[in-house]
């Protein structure tokens, strides 16, 4: 059974930092197959960051320069380092893994999802 488990969420003040982790089990995913999305209640789930199949990184405009995705293939884990957090970054953050999907920012490209971890940024 494939599982993606996020951790590292929590409550942080505006301007602070958090590092999310997503560990996969049941199947090995290269880091290039992984991405992060987030969803605020009442809103659509949106793309945050991902690797492309060539290893390039991609970010939503709203997080460019503040967030960084990284991965450790040996640990089957990807990370999302978040700096300069703002209240609008408050959401449940989900990691995802894709098998063949080519559109890194499209949720439909991803086959596996974690349960999510809550990030709350206070003013």
Residues 6+ apart with CB under 8 A from 56: none
pLDDT in tens, the chain (123 residues): 999 999 999 999 999 999 999 999 999 998 999 999 999 988 999 999 999 999 999 999 999 999 999 999 999 999 999 999 999 999 999 999 999 888 899 999 999 999 999 999 999
> How many degrees, rounded to 5, is the angle at CA 33 between CA 29 and CA 37?
115
* Spatial distance between the Cα atoms of 113 and 13, rounded to a whole number of angstroms: 27
Matching residue, tokens 């098998």: 99
Q: Two tokens at 92?
A: 């449940």
Find, among 76, 75, 70, the residue nearest to 20 by Cα.
70
| Residues written for the chain | 123
Q: Tell which phi-psi region holds residue 74, choosing left (phi > 0), alpha (psi between -120 and 50) or beta.
A: alpha
């Amino acid at each position: 059974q494939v599982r993606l488990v996020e951790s590292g969420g929590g409550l942080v003040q505006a301007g602070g930092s958090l590092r999310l982790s997503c560990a996969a089990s049941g199947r090995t995913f290269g880091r290039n197959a992984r991405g992060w999305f987030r969803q605020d209640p009442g809103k659509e789930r949106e793309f945050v960051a991902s690797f492309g199949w060539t290893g390039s990184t991609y970010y939503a405009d709203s997080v460019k320069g503040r967030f960084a995705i990284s991965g450790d293939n040996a640990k089957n884990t990807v990370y999302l380092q978040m700096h300069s957090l703002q209240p609008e970054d408050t959401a449940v953050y989900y990691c995802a893994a894709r098998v063949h999907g080519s559109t890194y920012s499209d949720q439909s490209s991803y086959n596996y999802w974690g349960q999510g971890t809550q990030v709350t940024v206070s003013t």
